[in-house]
Amino acid sequence: MFRNVSNLVKNKTKQSFMNWSGGKDSALCLNRIKQDPAYNVSALLTSVNTAHDRVSMHGVRRSMLHKQAKALGIPLHTLELPEQPGMAEYEAIMTEQLNAFKAIGYTHSVFGDIYLEDLRAYREIKLDMLGLKGVFPLWNIPTHELMDEFLSLGFKAIIVCVNERYLDKSFCGRLLDGSFVRDLPPGVDICGENGEYHSFVFDGPVFKNPVTFTKGSIVRRTYEAPRTANPNPDLMDKPSQYGFYFCDLLDDASGQQ
């Protein structure tokens, strides 16, 4: 449930919620903004695929997401999305959620975006329409510097999803460490900023305790590519398939299979 933060506004800190994916960029972003006394992050917001009860794109179980939020000590709110929402449907669900945040005193939305200018512009336009502001603590910082910072701070993460256009199955389920970084092929962004891979952070300076889990099976899933992603007019009637490998994480405290 929402916690009214309006009584905190008097201290002039900017009441903020974190757009939380569960991955390394979110964790590093949260760590950075927690060092800034101008902001008070008191809520996490994560998109969840209700058909599979997992974090959208990352494929992490809802139970693991809640376990992660508990270890962070920050209340979790979820954006409940159907399996393949259209843009209009997504925006309607998001607008309802943002208005609910605004109604209880939140003024700023924090993102771990780094380079994607079109995405940032889209976020800022939509927030501005609702009277909210976006905050981007990692913006335009070279990704190799961010990775160095992430690892040097002692964060620990596991790779839960890889896009087979960039990485093969062997990268899925690996720890995000120096060895993983050295093995990345040329042209792959070190932080996966182009969607090459996604991670689940289970320990680090923002956690009260490590998030324990058991590594499950690795599966391949395919998704139809948007037509605009295929510039070849000869193939317009043959939509391609994007393939992803997912490493399942099991909550070892609940005995999930």
Domain ranges of the chain: 6-135, 156-250
Kindly report, residue by residue over 86-142, the tens digit of the pLDDT. 999 999 999 999 999 999 999 999 999 999 999 999 999 999 999 999 999 999 999
Q: Which CATH class is domain 6-135?
A: alpha beta
Predicted local confidence at residue 236, as pLDDT:
33
Per-residue pLDDT reduced to its tens digit, 46-72: 999 999 999 998 999 999 999 999 999
Is the pTM above the cut of 0.75? yes
DSSP code for 175 = B
Phi, psi of 173 (to 5 degrees): 90, 0
Both tokens of 171, joined, read 């990268």
In a 3-state reduction of DSSP, which class is residue 68? helix
Domain 156-250: which topology? putative n-type atp pyrophosphatase, domain 2 (3.90.1490)
**Taking 80 as the threshold, does the pLDDT of residue 10 lie above it?**
no
Residue type, 29: C
Cβ contacts of residue 85 below 8 Å, gap of 6+?
Answer: 93
Query: 6-135 with 156-250: one CATH topology?
Result: no
